[in-house]
Amino acid sequence: MGKSLSLDLRQRVVDAVESGQSRRAAAERFGVSVSSAVRWTQRARTLGHLAPGKRGGDKRTHRIDAYSALILGWVNETPDITLGEVSERLAAAHGYKPAWSVVCRFFQRHGMTRKKRQRMPPSRTAPM
């Protein structure tokens, strides 16, 4: 993923457009794409600044985190609850059925491992 271009360059492109140059000509003059020149001039008009917006980031964890107290309560009640059971209980209780991977990442964020462990070491004499 590329970096945002400097505010100085953005301002020079917008100033050129505001002084009467076309967006296409200003983009060619400063070596940027036409779409960038269009977006920057629109951003300057609507928002009043040219600073780049936030890039990327998490947009979905708030859905399952809204039920974190409920899920953690289920884990305290039933320590061996599976990811599928958590998903099914959320679907039954609130109509939100997350994928197992979403539930797994929820537990990872909260520092909980849901991996089942063997209770005894494997036998040395049994065939594998």
| Spatial distance between the Cα atoms of 63 and 7, rounded to a whole number of angstroms | 35
pLDDT value of residue 116: 62
| Spatial distance between the Cα atoms of 9 and 48, rounded to a whole number of angstroms | 16
121 exposure class (CB count in 10 Å sphere: 0-12, 13-18, 19+): exposed
pLDDT value of residue 1: 55
pLDDT tens-place string over residues 65-108: 999 999 999 999 998 889 999 999 999 999 999 999 999 999 99
**Dihedral of alpha carbons 40, 46, 51, 54, sign:** negative
Q: So where are the chain's domains?
A: 7-46, 61-109
Sorting pLDDT into bands at 50, 70 and 90, what band is 127? low
Give the chain's count of helices (H) and strands (E): 7, 0
8 Å CB contact between 5 and 36: yes
Close Cβ partners of 11 (under 8 Å, ≥ 6 residues apart): 50
Q: What is the mean pLDDT of the chain?
A: 90
| Spatial distance between the Cα atoms of 91 and 78, rounded to a whole number of angstroms | 18
